[in-house]
């Protein structure tokens, strides 16, 4: 069964850090571009980062650029999202998903699957 499972969320104070994990099973994550998305309460899903297949080149939305870092560990079939300098507006449920490759880049808007995983919740509050 093809599955992605997110973990690593939690409650953190403003300025704090978290590292999210996205573990793949039933397929080889390295063969796909993978994106991270988030959904704030009452809002639509927002693509925030993606990493290309193969080289793992990273791309970021302006809202997280300079604070978040996406990376891969192909041996563990895992994609990470290191989140530093967290702010209350980063609160939400975070998801990973396979995304479309566009040229040599990855897309933070076009997923290859319609369904979402369970996600992992991030709350930034003092």
Q: Output the CA angle 102-86-126, nearest 5 degrees.
A: 150
C-alpha distance from residue 94 to each of 5, 37, 118 (Å): 11, 6, 9
Q: Output the CA angle 9-15-71, nearest 5 degrees.
A: 50
Beta strands in 40-114 (DSSP E): 45-51, 58-60, 68-73, 78-83, 92-102, 105-111
Q: Is 14 helix (H, G, I), strand (E, B) or coil?
A: coil
- For residue 2, pLDDT beyond 90: no
Is residue 117 very low, low, confident or very high in pLDDT (cuts 50, 70, 90)? very high
Read off the pLDDT of residues 50-97 as tens digits, 9 standing for 90 and up. 999 988 899 999 999 999 999 999 999 999 999 999 999 999 999 999
H/E element holding 38? strand 33-39
pLDDT (0 to 100) of residue 97: 96
């Amino acid at each position: 069964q093809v599955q992605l499972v997110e973990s690593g969320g939690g409650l953190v104070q403003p300025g704090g850090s978290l590292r999210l994990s996205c573990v793949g099973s039933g397929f080889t994550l390295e063969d796909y571009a993978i994106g991270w998305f988030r959904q704030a309460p009452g809002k639509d899903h927002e693509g925030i980062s993606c990493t290309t297949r193969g080289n793992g080149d990273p791309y970021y939305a302006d809202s997280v650029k300079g604070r978040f870092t996406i990376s891969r560990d192909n041996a563990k079939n895992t994609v990470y999202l290191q989140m530093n300098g967290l702010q209350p507006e980063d609160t939400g449920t975070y998801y990973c998903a396979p995304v479309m490759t566009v040229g040599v880049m990855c897309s933070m808007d076009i997923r290859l699957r319609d369904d979402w995983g369970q996600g992992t919740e991030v709350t930034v509050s003092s």
